[in-house]
Structure 1
Amino acid sequence: MKFTISNELIEKVEQLVQSKNDEAILDLLNEYHHADIAEILEDLNTEQASYIIKLLDSEKTSEILMEMDEGDREKILATLSTKEIAEEIEELDTDDAADMIAELSEERQIEVIAQIEDEEHKAEIRELLTYDEDTAGGLMAKELVRVNENWTVTECVREMRAQAENVTRVHSIYVVDGNEKLIGRLSLKDLLMASPRAHISTVYIPKVDFVDVNEDAEEVARIMQKYDLEAIPVVDENKVLLGRITIDDIVDVIKEEAEKDYQMAAGITQDVEADDSILQLTRARLPWLFLGLVGGIGAFLIMEGFKGTFEKYAVLFFFTPLIAAMAGNVGVQSSAIIVQGLANDDVKGSINKRLIKEMFLAALNGFILALFLFAFVWITKGSFLTALAISVSLVAVIIIAGLIGTFVPLFLDKKGIDPAIATGPFITTSNDIFGILIYFWIAKLILGI
């Protein structure tokens, strides 16, 4: 059954917390999944949420905290002692543990790590904290099942049982040599079918996909998506097996990247959320708004330069918003398709081929739209030349807008700049300016002004 949060549920939880009815709180929340409880806590104030976190068992609250929004989680962690945070950390897989610790101040990180009793867990977390969060190393978990090629099947099964105790899900069994280098993977079916005395070297599969520990997180996501992988091993420059990345971490990467691209397309230069401060939101939005202001001033100067054209053919003025809007819309459409294709690694071939294809596509769309606009202007205004000038301008504007919308993201991608920046205000503003300039220049040429 789908979980649905309601005002009645939140009010009930608030009342139970206020009355400190611990038993009733435990009975109520016991029937919910940890992700549902996280959603409930996000609707409570920090004091109420912290009370519940301290009340529940660490095995459950550690999962709840990881499901919560980062901002809400940070507020709750600020109310917990270093010992309490360490207890939560010890229940988490190393990748989640490292992520949670990374949200703390440097001073608290040292204090929390010192409180972790499991020395191996502590050492692995410290290792993960050394990697950049946007790399494979920053995504990977140390928990996995690895077997040595020199073990017999009997030894392998015994070792796998011991290792599996610390692994939440066994996606794959990785095979290493005597130097801990990744050399392949092991099929559970082949393992079951093999003789107990057979060595793993005779049954393992040498073909295995892997990523370097310094590989960019987006590239890891692309590889896993392309090959439909639920998990992928991570190795160092010597191909020594370090850890693995699972699909749940990649889903988070894809989600974060989509949110970032959406904000950039909307003209927001930083990763911000609705509950961030006014100053943070202003810093994120103002640069693109300023670009729009500059674009508007540019359009004003262009229109002022064609003042004489306006005086003789005032009707041209009333079609200016239409031309500007069409230029902006076509540019955003073209850039959005290219940005999406680049993100999915679907855009291949030379830039010239893409530009030629877009030119023909824009010309076809522009011609169809121009026919309708020509008929409308001729019927309503009764001037063949005016209708011709406006409709021809529309075709030219649409073609140029399509070319700009295609070229800019491809160019940015070639230069190593996120092409998502090309969509939204950047393309809209540039196409508005070019569109208006082309519109009046062609109109002036056809009308002989």
Structure 2
Amino acid sequence: MIPFKLSDELIEQVEKLIEIKKDSVLLELLEEIHYADIAEIIDELNLEQATYIIKLLDSEKTSDILTEVDDDTREKILENLSAKEIAEEIDELDTDDAADIISELPEERKQEVISELEDREHAKEIVELLRYDDDSAGGLMAKELVKVKENWNVLTCVKEMRKQAEEVTRVHSIYVVDDDDILKGRLSLKDLLTTSTRTHIKDIYIPKVDYVTVGDKAEDVAKIMSKYDLEAIPVVDEMQRLVGRITIDDIVDVIREEAEKDYQLAAGITQDVEADDSIWQLTRARLPWLFLGLVGGIGAAAIMEGFEEMISKYAILFFFTPLIAAMAGNVGVQSSAIIVQGLANDDIKGSIKNRLIKEMLLAMLNGIILAIILMIVVWFWKDDHKAALAISVSLVIVIIVAGIIGTFIPLFLNKRGIDPAIATGPFITTSNDIFGILIYFMIAKLIIGI
């Protein structure tokens, strides 16, 4: 398969065909293009052109396209469609994707669209999904799945599976339930094919099955599916009844969104924003951390003012201040990034005390190596052994403190239920800059004796 490549020529061709209303040629052009690639094309068109394509193509294809286009683009397109037209798209989607799209609509519009859905059972399931939080297993799951009852025999099971499979895009697993829909286990396709048709399912199903409950956090579901390499996982309610399943494509979206959020936090952006958002939205997202940096800078300047006399007599100390601050910030970010990554992957084991000791020893080793190099450079450059010793000793201690802070803060935040990714950004850099400068001048004063 040749990878799709979006080009200016293709966009211009599509725009031209829309302008002259050559529908047959446009349909032929788009026929062989995957719906995800058509979504890319639509994202590059204006609203009128995008709506034209959605209305031109059949709902079976456009429903999938709508799940792939940019959120803002989809919102604008849906505003240009009638409730009946939106309902036609929703009828073609699995319940989880349908619920995601309907949840983005205004409340009054939601009711209009739901009332226009032709498949009432489909509508009922969508309404049920809308009751769950977006960030929960219930909000992620789809109602489409294949389930069999434990008291059926193999022949009945196969007949029922054929009926159910018509409504399921992809069959990942066959779940076994009792008469009350309580999840009992899963069924191996191999066992089903190699067993007598008179055998009861309760005699061959596998009772061990991983599952999540409707209230579990999406992030926890992602960890479970990643850990056990699952393509799909069943979802049960508070009574252990099977109510849906979550597939790997939904989890990939969760992981991507979580990674984007953590990356923005690490960069000092407090809200979920995109490059195309308004200047005011981008300002609101960035300003809080920039303000923190400003406060940190003022704090560092105030600390240096307290050592003004020493700096005036030993100007060499002033010239190495950026180096000390930079090393403190870099070490802190490195330490916190490793911890945050470990927390995200659920790899952090043992006590905080042991983790801090390990990080302290690691920072000490790195600090000593770098301090030896720095001491040699300063000694030969300035021919001042006191200054060389003061700067080098300060560097070792600053690196150790920065490593401890960078390790402790994300662990502490995680214990308090706060996203530890916040500790990899300006917060940790600013705090380590201030501590680093304070430690630097205090140690320099002790060694030089001013």
Q: Who is 2:250 aligned against? A: 249
Aligned to 2:259: 258
How far has the Cα of 1:282 moved from its partner?
A: 1.2
2:333 is equivalent to residue 332 of structure 1: yes
Alignment of 1:99-138 (within 5 A): 99-138=100-139
Give the match for residue 187 of structure 2.
186
* 1:346 Cα offset (Å): 0.2
Partner residue of 2:41? 40
Identity %: 74
The letter of the residue matching 2:23 is: D
**Mapping 1:6-405, distance limit 5 Å:** 6-405=7-406
**Structure 1 residue identity aligned to 2:366:** N
Q: Deviations over 1:204-234 (max 9, x none)?
A: 1111110011000000000000000000000
Give how far 1:277 is off. Answer: 1.5
Distance (whole Å) between structure 1 residues aligned to residue 132 and residue 86 of structure 2: 22
Q: Please, which runs of 5 or more residues in structure 2 have no aligned partner?
A: none
Shift of 1:63: 0.5
Distance (whole Å) between structure 1 residues aligned to residue 116 and residue 274 of structure 2: 33
> In structure 1, what residue type is equivalent to 2:399?
I
Give a deviation string over 1:42-79, Cα, whole Å, max 9, x none.
11111101100100000000001101111111111111
Deviation at 1:196, TM superposition (A): 0.7
Distance in 2 separating the partners of 1:323 and 1:414: 30
Give the Cα separation in 2 of the matches to 1:277 and 1:122: 36
Distance 1:155 1:148 in 2: 10
Q: Partner amino acid for 1:152?
A: N
For residues 185 and 110 of structure 1, what CA distance do their matches in structure 2 show? 37
Letter of the 2:195 partner, please give it. A
Residues 388-423 of structure 1 show CA distances to partners (whole Å, capped at 9, x for unaligned) of 000110111000000000000000011111100111
Instruction: Write the letter of the residue equivalent to 1:384.
Output: H
Query: Deviation of residue 194 (structure 1)?
Result: 1.0
Please state whether the residue corresponding to 2:205 is helix, strand or coil: coil
Q: Secondary structure at the match of 2:277?
A: coil
How well do the aligned residues superpose, as a CA RMSD in angstroms?
0.6
The code of the aligned residue for 1:5 comes to L
* TM-score after normalising by structure 2: 0.99
Separation of aligned partners in 2, 1:17 and 1:361: 63
Distance in 2 (CA, whole Å) between partners of 1:72 and 1:12 is 20
Taking the aligned partners of 2:385 and 2:202, their CA distance within structure 1 comes to: 83
Structure 2 counterpart of 1:17, one-letter code: I
Alignment partners' CA distance in 1, 2:25 and 2:390:
76
CA distance in 1, matches of 2:347, 2:122: 41
Q: Which portions of structure 1, spanning 4 or more consecutive aligned residues, are displaced by more than 6 angstroms?
A: none
Q: In the aligned structure 2, how far is the partner of 1:289 from the partner of 1:355? A: 29
- Cα distance in structure 2, aligned partners of 1:91 and 1:213: 24
User: For each residue in 1:370-394, what CA deviation from the matched residue of structure 2 results, as whole angstroms up to 9, or x when unmatched?
Assistant: 1111111111100001000001101
**One-letter code of the match for 2:411?**
L
Deviations 1:102-130 (A, max 9, x none): 11111110100010010100000000000
Instruction: Tell me the alpha carbon deviations over residues 403-449 of structure 1, each in whole angstroms, 9 at most, x when there is no partner.
Output: 00000000001111110011110000000000000000000100001
1:30 Cα deviation (Å)?
A: 0.7
**1:442 counterpart residue number:** 443
CA displacement at 1:198 relative to structure 2:
1.0
| Cα separation, 1, equivalents of 2:261 and 2:278 | 18
The secondary structure found in structure 2 opposite 1:63 is helix
One-letter amino acid of the counterpart of residue 79, structure 2: A
Structure 2: how far apart are the matches of 1:280 and 1:106?
24
Matched letter for residue 381 of structure 1: K
